[in-house]
Structure 1
Amino acid sequence: MAFPLTALAQTSEVSGRLLDSKTQEPVGFAQVALFASEEDSSPIIFSDTNESGEFTLSIASGKYLLKAFFIGYKDLVIDDIQVNGSMDLGDLSFESESQNLDEVVIETSKLPVRSTLEGLIITPENNLANAGGTLLDILRNTPSVSVSEDGGVSLRGSSNTNILINGRNSSLTQNLDQLPASIVEEIKIINNPNARYDAEAEGGVIDIVLKKGIELGTHGGLEATYGTRNRTNLGGRINHRNLKFNFYAGYNYRNWKQVGERQSTRTILEDNEKLEQNTFSTDSDIGNNLNFGGDYYFGNNTLSYEGVFQANETLNINTLFAEQNRNGEDFQYVRRNNEGESDDGFDNALIFEHNFKTKGHLFRATASNSYRNQFKTQNIEIFNNTLEPLAENLTGRQRAFTDEVRNITVFQADYIQPLEKGKFEAGLKSNIREFDNDFLYQRFDETSQSFVEDPSVSNRFLYQDQVHAGYAIFSGSKSKLEYGLGLRGEFTKVDTYLYNTEEENQQQYFNLFPSLQGLYNINAIHGIKLTYSRRIDRPRAWRLNPFPNITDSLNVRRGNPNLIPEMINSFELGHLANFEKVSLTTNLFYRRINNQIDFITIVEDGISYSQPDNLNFAQLAGVEFIGTAEIADWYSLNGGLTFTRIKVDASNISEEFTNDGFTWNAKLNQDFKLPWDINFQIAANYESPEIQAQGKSLSVYYVDTSIQKSFLKNKGSVTLAVRDVFDTRRYAGNSITNTFIQDYYSKLETRIVLLSARYNF
């Protein structure tokens, strides 16, 4: 559909078809416009090509200039088109951009996973398994990525990743299960990021790109999901764009319910003391997500605003049943925790970009702030000497209030200068964070019949840090070789303050982080890549807070204010193969982590204490295979297979905490295109046991299936999904030392059925 910007009389039709210059496939949804002259920045009329690459523009007789443009292609310009009546321009060749170190090397657009020099690009909408789900559901089906029972994300065996939203640091990444899959445009997995990115995190970078709309005209979509246990997910989005403005907004409502159980057994060897615990939980989570923004295009400049707002309410009831045998005596108790949490967050970003006359020559400046306020209440009932939590058996009450405020402010400026055979990049960035955690813990006093604060547990902990950075990258090409050399410098200032004890801890340090990226194109099909980066993993705020978490009085978790940062050297050597309908990537990787941070558990007087500590080092070495293939018109698949050898050396704490082992994981997604516009998908995941400093986690495996029926020329669809078909997804593991053995088993309700409907316009 065309949108004339001026009144037209005695119009003629100018038509044509855009074809990819290499594949000769139609290029759909590209923008085509007619201008009065090359100097004119505003078109007279414009339109989108349809799915077959065809376009039609109605305009008065005269001489015009035609432009076609689309992401990933060079602008097509045709001068001096003389319109004296309807004319067909025929097939027009649309040339794709030449690839460089930042662009996709291997891409199969119909598949949800694409390989790049730096890692992977995930397109959630191309994977049926994500329908009605959250960001964590996307990551569960992503090669190289593992998701733990509490929502922690690991990349190639590392749980420390730098998670960004739209390329920026955000407090909203604190709980990824509150980001619905429907608002995510794509996810970039960057295993070995160059100097442009923060040096933070051992595992690399996960960049979540939210939908904002880039096509001319008005577009949008509606989604609805309903599932077992009355799970509900509703969402809508809309955007309007012309040559001057782009406005977009999206809203999502999510009501999710969950039940689960957890079992643990601990045996103290010397005393033959045994503790058995069983916890049953019910969860209800109501979430509201709103993302919105706009772009203003003027001259060679773009001014953009991006906003995200979250408001979530969570209700949890956890009932713990415990049986302890100590010194030949049995003791039983029940602890019931009724917990409510309100979680509000707001992201704001203002971005200015200036494009110079030379293509690729630009300056970009960004200012952003991310705010999150989490308020949690806990009402705890204790029933001693019984396994029946009845009112007449109540022996104690406790309650707790947690008020945590997180603020992240970022200022950043980037400059890119194209060179004859490469480009130069440089930038500055300041990342300023403040986490204020105020925890009030009270016990019920029978004498006064009121709740009294327990100062040995209550605490307020303030964490502040500033990271000021500068970087420079030079990238170039010579014959078949493309390369990039980067250097980043970061000055870090950390200040923690514990109000209860007036204890303050300050650190200041400066580090240099080099990066290297190289790609040798053997021919049009095969390429060899090499990447290196030096990285840092700073202790996070909750790991530094020394005050204990005593939700379970016999299993206490606390922080360690004496932690120092991990320093990581990461190497990767890979082979890329891009055939007509098949792409294969093989990566060899190695990481050495000095001062590795891991949780160490000790048992004293029948109580288990867990806290993070710096180990000597850890080493990870492995090989990764990632493949995408269109085997036939009706069958395609993608997946990954990763083998890793892990060694953990904690001999600085105790010789018994040194461990090493082998782990592997596999993911396979298969897509079947059936008659009558029906798609059927199977997603299978397996993660082998993985060693830790004091034990190992056991294997995790599950299968998801989805079937989708499309209609209205693929504008609408209905999807039926069954998650964890065989109800096998559970988490288990053990800790083994010279003094105790501890096992755990955790199972949530993971076999669920979801029915989703979607319509795009």
Structure 2
Amino acid sequence: MTRITRLIYSLSLSLIGFKTLGEVPDLLTPEGKEKSMDGTKIIGKVVEAGNSNAVSFATVALLMAADSSVTDGAVADVDGVFTISNVTSGSYMLRVTNMGYQTLVVDKVSVAPESGLIDVGTLVLTTEATKLNEVVVRAEKTMIINDIDKKIVNVGQDMLATSTNVSELLEKVPAVSLDENGNPQVRGKGNVIVLIDGKPSSMYGSDLPTILKSFPADLIDRIDVMTTPSAKYEGDGASGVIDIITKKTKIQGVNGGVRLTLGNRENYNTGGNISFKRGKLGINASANAAIRNRYWKREIDRENFLSDQTTLYSQYGTGKNYDGDLFGRIGINYDLTEKATVSAGFNYSRNRFINTSFSENRTTSQADSLMERFSRSSDQKGLGDNTNMYVDYRQKFRKEDHLLTFTASYTKGGSDSDTDFDQEGNLVDLMVRQQNEKLNNRNSVYLNTDYTWPLTPKATVEVGLRTRFNTNDNTNNFLKYDFETEGFEFDPSISNVFAYSDALYTGYSTFSQKTDNWGVRVGVRVTDYNQTINQVNIDQSFDVHFLTLVPSLAVTRKLSDAAQIKLNYSRRVQRPNATWLNPFTDISDPLNISTGNPNLKPEFTHKAELGYSNYEENSGIGPSLFMDYSNNAITRIKTIDDEGISTSRYDNVGRELAYGYEMDFFQRLGEAIKINASGRVFRSEVVSALAQIDNRIWSYSGNINAYIKLPLDFRASAYVNYEGPRAIAQGKREGIVVANMGIRKSMLERKATISFSVQDIFLSRAYKSQLATASYVQNSLYQQTNRQINLSFQYRFGKISASRDDA
């Protein structure tokens, strides 16, 4: 290249916002022919139709196949040759443009996890003078990609058609479901670590279900599910790790969107996002406001065998939970050099909640003689907020693609609430009035650094260090009304001041080796973990120290470009959190109280999986065998005293075992219909000789999502999920079925969509459990009683990079 040519080339790159000249490898050098250790390299050449002359400086954009969002790109050199480096596995399109030529869209560019170099060959541009009738090419990326130690689920339009937030997206992900409170589960079990862009979700707030409902679904690019995570991830999360990856803007200019959702029973949601990029500077921001009203009912029927005579207790309760949520974030990134990028961000969330409940409680003898009856109502008002600030630094080194990343984050949050209890009964001592004042303050510091060191073009070592400090101060004051003095008096017997802090120091190392057909990743993480528990009100404190070792192993055998078989193993640890440890006794429901257990020990789980996958563009299948085993599982235990009062707390009860067969698949039927489904048959066991528990059960679960393209730019989808019965401590949790549907239409030249959706169509999301011990038998039900119906409108503005398929 001449000096003038290189100057024009560099200026073109800068103007469109892709790689600068120094970042694009020269294909004439040996480095240009090697695979980047960060991903796959795509190369090709752009020529003119009719004479095969090179089209110099043509713009080549790499787009996600499903929504045509630009993920990367490059500018061809003077000879028409281009290179796009560091491409992760997935399904893409190439869009080639140049002044005076017709735009060319190359469909079906599939990048497999084991790919090194993809040559798309010669791409031919037609001049505008010979342009034919316009042809619009649209495609969807492969829904599922099976990487060496995780399953990547791309968020396509079938998932978005009935989804307004991340919480609704997760229910459609293979092996993932939600519990009655909206917390994610993997294969029917909780204790899941949720990350957002690789960072702890706690950076966005303390209440995970609220965080997931605050993230709009259309901002999510993909969801990574790790049922047997590698040592690169923290050992927490006995059931697995979920990493929610947001979309990144790489095109120049300004673009964004606004959205509004109107729901029945006074449920509303509105928000927007905007991205700006010019030269080396990029800014993105989003905000969301929501009002949610959830109505519920609860039923408990219990036989108590401990008293002199068997007693029968029943409760029927109803309630309403109101949440007013605000969520906002802003991020800034700047390219310091060709290889170094720094970014900073600020996240803020605010939650105002009003919860009301009413319950009728009856205790009778076996002969149906009334012993006591009382009704109890509660009114709670509270406010919480969370502020997070972070800085990220990313440095690439020219030699052998070495990469250094660093993250520093500080989070501060708090909440306070006041609750009034009024109780009336048929006995004098059942006439009770109480007040509960809660105050919580949290602080967290998070430091993380990772280094990628390519030993050879096919062997890589990754090392990392992480430090995390948390403090959590809780004050729970109960006041009891004195009918003689006609005033509230502090009750120290049921009040509590609890201070908790922890410090985590951890480091990991993984080694990855890839050949044409084989891949292996082996790793180990060592963690030094310290907890300080301080029962302030009784001046008791103690420290706990744990040193844990978390190994992992993943082996893959490539059978074809799309098919592979893999064997994974990982050891996980579930450390008790502050809520589980806090010995405060919650008497909000006086016959069904709960308390913490400061003597809890960590739970260690061994996870193994043998799987096969074959995911192509129009169909895919992924069967696997899995096994989870823990010998000191943390489980909620319920005991009953001779007065009929039940107490729930977490304890290390004994052995938990789950094993079975799981399969997911997707299939496109013609151009109009696509079906995604997953299911499993499994055995769950909970056994503890000390607690006299021996529960073993076979079960099955599954979901299916049907997606249909309709005329006039309408799209519809329907989703059904069934989560089968599962053995739990002291009994079993019964199966649950959920059905959702939705339809959406594009308008305003595909810049806007209007959609209608119904969640829990049949009001079948009813959580039932059956417990049976020598001292009691209990059946319980918890169910949300309002079917959610939403009407949503979304509008996108700014530069439209290509024909989008998400309208």
| TM-score bracket, shorter-length normalisation | 0.7 to 0.9
- Which of 484, 488, 491 is the matching residue for 2:528? 491
Contact kept in structure 2, 1:249 and 1:293, CA below 8 Å: yes
CA offset at residue 721 of structure 1? 0.6
Alignment-derived partner of residue 675 in structure 1 = 711
Describe the shift of the 1:37–1:519 C-alpha distance in structure 2 as closer, same or farther (beyond 3 A): closer
Q: Is the counterpart of residue 481 in structure 1 residue 518 in structure 2?
A: yes
* Alignment partners' CA distance in 1, 2:653 and 2:553: 28
Alignment-derived partner of residue 79 in structure 1 = 77
Alignment-derived partner of residue 99 in structure 1 = 113
* Alignment partners' CA distance in 1, 2:301 and 2:509: 53
- Which of 278, 297, 319 is the matching residue for 1:242? 278
Alignment-derived partner of residue 345 in structure 2 = 306
CA offset at residue 196 of structure 1? 1.1
Secondary structure (helix, strand or coil) at the match of 1:552 reads coil
Task: Choose 203-212 or 724-733, whichever is displaced more.
Answer: 203-212
- Residues 703-757 of structure 1 show CA distances to partners (whole Å, capped at 9, x for unaligned) of 1110111123432111011112222221111111112111111221242211011
* Alignment partners' CA distance in 1, 2:171 and 2:424: 39
Task: Choose 337-346 or 709-718, whichever is displaced more.
Answer: 709-718
Contact kept in structure 2, 1:161 and 1:204, CA below 8 Å: yes
Contact kept in structure 2, 1:74 and 1:96, CA below 8 Å: no
Alignment-derived partner of residue 27 in structure 1 = none
- Residues 643-692 of structure 1 show CA distances to partners (whole Å, capped at 9, x for unaligned) of 22111111122x2x121112221111100001111101110111111111
TM-score (norm 1): 0.87
* Alignment partners' CA distance in 2, 1:31 and 1:550: 59
Describe the shift of the 1:181–1:691 C-alpha distance in structure 2 as closer, same or farther (beyond 3 A): same
Contact kept in structure 1, 2:159 and 2:169, CA below 8 Å: no
CA offset at residue 274 of structure 1? 0.8
The letter of the residue matching 1:596 is A
- Residues 281-302 of structure 1 show CA distances to partners (whole Å, capped at 9, x for unaligned) of 0121111110111110121110
Alignment-derived partner of residue 393 in structure 2 = 352
Q: Identity over the aligned pairs, expressed in percent?
A: 25
The letter of the residue matching 2:353 is T
- Which of 273, 289, 294 is the matching residue for 1:253? 289
Alignment-derived partner of residue 342 in structure 1 = 383
- Which of 632, 640, 649 is the matching residue for 1:611? 649
Q: Is the counterpart of residue 527 in structure 1 residue 564 in structure 2?
A: yes
Alignment-derived partner of residue 141 in structure 1 = 172
Contact kept in structure 1, 2:605 and 2:630, CA below 8 Å: yes
- Residues 604-658 of structure 1 show CA distances to partners (whole Å, capped at 9, x for unaligned) of 02111111111222111122111122221100111210222111111122x2x12
Contact kept in structure 2, 1:192 and 1:533, CA below 8 Å: yes
CA offset at residue 556 of structure 1? 1.0
Contact kept in structure 1, 2:319 and 2:356, CA below 8 Å: yes
Q: Is the counterpart of residue 284 in structure 1 residue 317 in structure 2?
A: no
* Alignment partners' CA distance in 2, 1:598 and 1:55: 65
Contact kept in structure 1, 2:716 and 2:743, CA below 8 Å: yes
TM-score (norm 2): 0.82
- Which of 200, 207, 217 is the matching residue for 2:253? 217
* Alignment partners' CA distance in 1, 2:628 and 2:116: 23
* Alignment partners' CA distance in 2, 1:310 and 1:347: 9
* Alignment partners' CA distance in 2, 1:239 and 1:262: 45
Alignment of 1:57-456 (within 5 A): 68=60, 70=62, 76=74, 78-80=76-78, 88=101, 99-100=113-114, 109-110=140-141, 114-124=145-155, 126-127=157-158, 133-171=164-202, 172=205, 174-179=207-212, 180-182=214-216, 183-211=219-247, 213-269=249-305, 271-299=309-337, 300-326=339-365, 328-358=369-399, 360-385=401-426, 395-420=431-456, 421-456=458-493
* Alignment partners' CA distance in 2, 1:284 and 1:355: 48
Describe the shift of the 1:205–1:86 C-alpha distance in structure 2 as closer, same or farther (beyond 3 A): closer
Secondary structure (helix, strand or coil) at the match of 2:235 reads coil
- Which of 743, 751, 756 is the matching residue for 2:792? 756
Secondary structure (helix, strand or coil) at the match of 2:756 reads strand
* Alignment partners' CA distance in 2, 1:609 and 1:524: 56
The letter of the residue matching 1:683 is Y
Q: Is the counterpart of residue 516 in structure 1 residue 553 in structure 2?
A: yes
CA offset at residue 434 of structure 1? 1.4
The letter of the residue matching 1:241 is K
Report the count of equivalent residues. 706
* Alignment partners' CA distance in 2, 1:716 and 1:534: 47
* Alignment partners' CA distance in 1, 2:492 and 2:151: 49
Alignment-derived partner of residue 536 in structure 1 = 573
* Alignment partners' CA distance in 1, 2:432 and 2:47: 74
CA offset at residue 184 of structure 1? 3.9
The letter of the residue matching 2:152 is I
Alignment of 1:571-720 (within 5 A): 571-604=608-641, 605-653=643-691, 655=692, 657-720=693-756
The letter of the residue matching 1:540 is N
The letter of the residue matching 2:771 is S
Contact kept in structure 1, 2:296 and 2:786, CA below 8 Å: no
* Alignment partners' CA distance in 1, 2:177 and 2:244: 16
Contact kept in structure 2, 1:212 and 1:292, CA below 8 Å: no
Contact kept in structure 2, 1:252 and 1:290, CA below 8 Å: yes
* Alignment partners' CA distance in 2, 1:599 and 1:110: 42
* Alignment partners' CA distance in 1, 2:224 and 2:405: 20
CA offset at residue 592 of structure 1? 1.0
Alignment-derived partner of residue 389 in structure 1 = none
CA offset at residue 505 of structure 1? 2.5
Alignment-derived partner of residue 465 in structure 1 = 502
The letter of the residue matching 1:511 is T
Flag structure 2 segments of 5+ consecutive residues without an equivalent.
1-7, 27-45, 49-54, 65-70, 81-97, 118-138, 798-807
Contact kept in structure 1, 2:564 and 2:612, CA below 8 Å: yes
- Residues 492-529 of structure 1 show CA distances to partners (whole Å, capped at 9, x for unaligned) of 11111101221212111212211111211012242101
Contact kept in structure 2, 1:260 and 1:749, CA below 8 Å: yes
The letter of the residue matching 1:353 is R
Describe the shift of the 1:184–1:694 C-alpha distance in structure 2 as closer, same or farther (beyond 3 A): same
* Alignment partners' CA distance in 2, 1:755 and 1:144: 29
Describe the shift of the 1:719–1:114 C-alpha distance in structure 2 as closer, same or farther (beyond 3 A): farther
* Alignment partners' CA distance in 2, 1:422 and 1:33: 26
Secondary structure (helix, strand or coil) at the match of 1:523 reads coil
Task: Choose 232-241 or 726-735, whichever is displaced more.
Answer: 726-735
- Residues 464-512 of structure 1 show CA distances to partners (whole Å, capped at 9, x for unaligned) of 1111011111101123101111111111111111012212121112122
- Residues 381-419 of structure 1 show CA distances to partners (whole Å, capped at 9, x for unaligned) of 111129xxxxx9993310001111222211111111223
RMSD: 3.2
CA offset at residue 142 of structure 1? 2.3
Alignment-derived partner of residue 127 in structure 2 = none
The letter of the residue matching 1:290 is G
Contact kept in structure 2, 1:34 and 1:66, CA below 8 Å: no
- Residues 106-137 of structure 1 show CA distances to partners (whole Å, capped at 9, x for unaligned) of xx944665544433334556345675644322
* Alignment partners' CA distance in 2, 1:55 and 1:412: 46
Contact kept in structure 2, 1:407 and 1:435, CA below 8 Å: yes
Contact kept in structure 2, 1:68 and 1:77, CA below 8 Å: yes
* Alignment partners' CA distance in 1, 2:453 and 2:314: 64
Contact kept in structure 1, 2:449 and 2:465, CA below 8 Å: yes
The letter of the residue matching 1:618 is E
* Alignment partners' CA distance in 2, 1:33 and 1:488: 35
Describe the shift of the 1:39–1:510 C-alpha distance in structure 2 as closer, same or farther (beyond 3 A): closer
Flag structure 1 segments of 5+ consecutive residues without an equivalent.
1-7, 9-13, 16-29, 41-53, 57-62, 387-391
Describe the shift of the 1:361–1:335 C-alpha distance in structure 2 as closer, same or farther (beyond 3 A): same
Contact kept in structure 2, 1:132 and 1:181, CA below 8 Å: no
* Alignment partners' CA distance in 1, 2:142 and 2:766: 29
* Alignment partners' CA distance in 1, 2:247 and 2:615: 28
